[in-house]
Amino acid sequence: MFTKLDVDLEWKENDLVSFLPIILSLCCFVLYWFTAASSHIKNKFYNKYSFDDAARKHIFFTKYFGFISMGIIPLVICMLFLPKSNFSDYGLTFIPETSLYSLIWTLGLGIVVVPIAFLSAKKEKNLVNYPQIRSKTWTKKTIFITILGWSLYLFGYELLFRGTLLFPLVDALGVWPAIAVNIGMYSATHIPKGLDETLGAIPLGLVLCLLTLYSGTIWIAFFVHLFMAITNCLTAFKYHPDIKYQA
């Protein structure tokens, strides 16, 4: 006969505060990732529209779907089932006392990351994947949709990682265990993008978690990430040999 150890499976009062955000973050990111990567969904756009329109509409779809699946859905579920039910409990707030702190760090990091993103965006290996909208001809509408799409997507993305997955876990587990879980999941989501981005996400995740906790909001992480993404995308558009601009 085999022997098994006793395991205490009793559901404790505070378990949901850590269990729900972790499971939701995993499930909602997986939902986004495989929807965005679906060739079936992509083909629906390309079978219905011209190439340039399909490229624009498909990428914008993945962006606003990411906003909904990673930002809205986890937040709503957590607010319904967890004890804390205010937007401010997830970093969606404005705190006058930390506003200058947030502004200084946002501008300071922006000054650092924008030139780096600009220089790296021109490299051939980056132009293979960016800009994500592969329309041969870009217009003002394309640029507007690009900026709007990234803004929606990154708001949902940062709300998930620096809001839903961080603040409740700090209450349940403590600061450093919560940061460890956050960094682990944040870094893991970068695995499909290669070793460099996966490793780079570790120190970046640590810095963004700390800045989020010190400021009490997600805005530093959101705006810094947005600066990087838009700089990378628009620079790649400018230097991509197969894409032209039409006024």
Decide: 197 and 190 in contact? Cβ < 8 Å: yes
- Residue 9 confidence (pLDDT): 87
Three-class HEC string of 45-92: HHHHCCHHHHHHHHHHHHHHHHHHHHHHHHHHHHHHHCCCCCHHHHCC
- Residue 4 confidence (pLDDT): 86
Please give the chain's pLDDT, 247 residues, in tens. Answer: 678 888 988 888 789 999 999 999 999 999 999 999 999 999 999 999 999 999 999 999 999 999 999 999 999 999 999 987 799 999 999 999 999 999 999 999 999 999 999 999 999 888 988 999 999 999 999 999 999 999 999 999 999 999 999 999 999 999 999 999 999 999 999 988 888 889 989 999 999 999 999 999 999 999 999 999 999 999 999 999 999 998 7
**What is the rounded distance in angstroms from the CA atom of residue 67 to the CA atom of residue 71?**
5
